[in-house]
Each structure stands twice: as structure tokens, then as C-alpha cells.
Amino acid sequence: MLTLTDINEFVSENFDCFKKGLKELIEKKGISSTGEGIQDTIEYVESLFKDLLNVETEILKTKGYPSIYASIPGKNLFTVLFYGHYDVMSPDPVEKWNTDPFKLTEKDGKFYARGIGDNKGQLIAQIFGIYSYLKLHGEFPFNIKFLIEGEEEQGSAHLADVVKEYADSHLDTDLVVVIDGSMHESGRPVLRLGNRGLICFEIRVKTGEFDNHSGNAGNIIENPIMILNKIINKLYSFDKDYVNIPHFYDGVIKPTELQKKWIEEIPYDKSIVEKRFGVSNIKFSKQEYYNLLMFKPTFNISGINSGYTGEGTKNIIPNEAVAKFDIRLVGNQNPNEILSSIKRIVEESSPFATIKDFSVYSPTMTDSNCPYIPSAIKALKSASNEEVIVEPVMAGAVPNFVWTDILKKPTLTIPYANADQKNHAPNENIDKCVFIRGIKSSYYLIEEFGKDF
């Protein structure tokens, strides 16, 4: 029977090799917005599977960048599918980095590089952890599958298509584990059971080909800002703080007693929250705060652009007004039905108005009584020696609906990166100790899930 020191010693003895692999993966770039280094990254990930796990990968083509698939047989028919992504965000603005974004740099207990936290560091920690289990045990207790996509940083545009096409032939599984995101700011490990959904769209009102003099054209040409304002007021009541979209609140649910218990156990310090958001007026209790983040939908105007806002005056009727919106969905809200209602309101409001949608994700939630939750908690605690935070819902929106709605499988999201990783920003980083914890977490996930049958 292996002991805790076995995995600790193995990681310690092999850490230089692990660091070398991390360094080489970072150098391949893999920027999905430009395509730079995508093929090099794919080939390197394939080599990791072949050299470390003795398994050939399969490239699943899409209309964009492909996904990488691998299947590793185990002793039992039980199967776990691990998800990650190999693409990274552009490093721009490069001049604000303190180091070369594609050269692994270690300083003061942190690794710095683009993708080190999101998601190459987390991806390779999965691979190293599973490799560690194989070396220490010789075989796996169950089947392990990987699906690694290359377009996560561009909204996972083709992930749903891949999952639909290969659901029966490749992606038959009992459980999905998503390794991505950030841990709690307390540094404790986190297990997330769901996420909010998302609708992103733009409303554009165009009343003319160019701006007009407000005296010469006043009362003759309609003002697009005013039309846009009328449309927004049909969508949202500012007086009541209420979304007016028909059936918008259908499917919104309240937290269960178990979910309330988990929330009560999450660390909450208003001063830390205020510092994180750059505000000084947070007034919510812990339950109120997390209820708003996890169980209440949002309606947000992320930007409006029109007319003249410079110095002095410019008496014009603008020819165009544009507003961008995002809506966070919870529970069982239906994004397609809500989006259809929004489009109908816009189309009926004005012949000058058009709408364009960008992203549509359904909210997801794995049953709080999922039998694999206790094993995941035990694994994360073994890897960190800390109590595990369980979040019923993560506030952000990720495309986990492909697992829960298409594959119809329970999905656990486990982040291996620190809360201050600065993903998508200059000087992205991961704590060295957190990276090591990620390797051990993958090892213990295999061990604990292997005891469930």
C-alpha cells in the first residue's frame, strides 16, 4: 500500500523533468486569436501522451482549431473524462510584462509566463499527475480519457460540435472533470459543481448615413440614442431593478439546505472582496453575497457608444448608437428562449434597430448528491492538507453545458491555479507550490475515484 510520502518523493525526484516539460510547452505559444504556435503546441502535447503515458492521441478536426483526444484503458469499465485546453490568450500588451511571456521565469516562488495558469500549467499538471500514478502503480484502476480543445480563449466556438459528433464513439464516460479556473483567494482548494450561463449581444440603432445638425434636422430625424434608450427600458426596469424580458425568471431556483451549508463554510471577508473589486461599499452578508453570485441572474450593459462626448459642445443628431450587453443565467434558465424574446422586442421596437448575438451558454449544475463529490473532496484534501471549499455554482460562465446537457454526465470543475494568477493580463503566474499541488491532486483523484467501485 502506497503512502503519502511515495507521491511526495516521486514529485520531488522528478520535478526538474516536470519543470522542463512545462518550459517547453510554454515556448510553443499556441495563441488561438492569431494561430501562432498552434500546430507546435498540438505536436508537443501529443508527444507528452506518447512519451509519458504510452498512448497515441487522435486529432478531432473542427471548423477552427482541432481538439486532442486520448483514451487510456484501466482495470475497470468506469470512465473519467478530463477536459483542458492547449490554447492561450495573446500576451499583448507585451511591454507591460516584466519577463518574456513565452520564456518560463521563476521568481519568488512563482512561475511567470503566458498560459502558465490558463491553462497550460494546469493541463500539464494533469498529465504529470496521471503519469505519476502510472509509474507508482503500474496500471490505472479505471479508464481515463482526455479532451483538450484549442479554442477556449475564443469562446470554445466549436466545442459543442465536437462533443455532439463524438459523444457515442469517443466520449462515452461516467464523469467529467474540468481542470481550469482559479482557486479561492484564501488559497484553499476548490471544487465547483456548476456555473452561470451567458448571453452576450449587441443592439445597434442606425437612423442615417451620417450625423446631422440638431437644428436643421431636429424633429425630422430620429435620435438613435433615444430609440436605444426606449429599447433598453423595454428589456429592463431601472425603477424596480427587474428584467422585463418575458419568462426571464423561469427556471431560477433557490439554494438547497446542503448548498447553503457549503456556502456558509466558504471564507468571506468584505474587506478582501472590496479590495478585489476596487470598491468600498460592499454591504452584503456572506449568504447574500454568494446567493447573488450563484443563484440570481444578472442584466448588464457593458458599453454604450454614440455621438459626441469631447470638450465643449457639438450640436448633432448622431446617426448611430450601439450598446453591448451580457446576461448571466442561473439554475434552469433557457438562454435560447430568452434570446429569442430579446430579438423579438428589438425587432418590434424600431425599424432602425438590429441585434447581433455573440455567445450563448446554458447554466449548469451537477447534483449536490453526486456520488463522486466525497471522493474528489478527499483527493484535494490529501494533495493540499487543507479543507476543501465546495462552490455549488461558480459566478463565471464556461461551456460546461456540453458535458451536462449533451453528454448528460455529472461534471466537477477543479482549478489548479492561484486566485491572483493574472490570466489574460501581463505577468500571468502560478505559484510553484500550487503547480506541485495540481500534480498531486491529479494523482489523488485517480486514487480516490478508483475506490468508488
- Tens of pLDDT, residue by residue over 356-369, are 999 899 999 999 99
386 vs 138, 165, 190, 196, 410, CA distance in Å? 28, 40, 10, 27, 25
Q: For residue 47, give the nearest of 81, 70, 74, 14 by alpha carbon.
A: 70
Integer Cα distance of 63 and 416 in angstroms? 30
User: Do 199 and 417 form a contact (C-beta atoms < 8 A)?
Assistant: no
Q: What's the start-to-end Cα distance of the chain, in Å?
A: 18
pLDDT at 159 over 90: yes
394-419 pLDDT per residue, tens? 988 888 999 999 999 999 999 999 99
Q: What is the pLDDT of residue 5?
A: 55
pLDDT-derived band at 169, boundaries 50, 70, 90: very high
User: Do 113 and 432 form a contact (C-beta atoms < 8 A)?
Assistant: no
Averaged over 58-79, what is the pLDDT?
Answer: 97
pLDDT at 31 over 90: yes
pLDDT-derived band at 1, boundaries 50, 70, 90: very low
Q: What is the pLDDT of residue 191?
A: 98
Chain-centre distance of CA 421, in angstroms? 14
Q: What is the pLDDT of residue 346?
A: 98
User: Do 86 and 123 form a contact (C-beta atoms < 8 A)?
Assistant: yes
Tell me the domains of the chain and their CATH numbers.
4-195+363-449 (3.40.630.10), 197-253+295-361 (3.30.70.360), 254-294 (no CATH)
pLDDT-derived band at 155, boundaries 50, 70, 90: confident
Q: How much of the chain exceeds pLDDT 90, in percent?
A: 92
Residue whose grid cell is 481538439: 67
How many CA atoms, within 13 angstroms, populate the side-chain half-sphere of residue 141? 14
Q: How much of the chain exceeds pLDDT 70, in percent?
A: 99
- Fill in the DSSP letter of residue 182: B
- Fill in the DSSP letter of residue 390: E
178-210 pLDDT per residue, tens? 999 999 988 999 999 999 999 999 999 999 999
Averaged over 359-388, what is the pLDDT?
Answer: 96
User: Do 87 and 31 form a contact (C-beta atoms < 8 A)?
Assistant: yes
Stronger pLDDT, 225 or 1, i.e. the higher one = 225
Task: Determine the angle formed by the axes of helices 120-137 and 38-53, rounding to 10 degrees.
Answer: 10
- Provide the 10 A C-beta neighbour count for residue 63: 8
Residue whose grid cell is 446576461: 327
pLDDT at 303 over 70: yes
Residues 6 or more apart whose CB falls under 8 angstroms from that of 381 comprise 189, 387, 388
Residues 6 or more apart whose CB falls under 8 angstroms from that of 111 comprise 22, 104, 105, 121, 429, 430, 431, 432, 435
Q: For residue 396, give the nearest of 152, 214, 160, 229 by alpha carbon.
A: 152
Record the pTM.
0.90
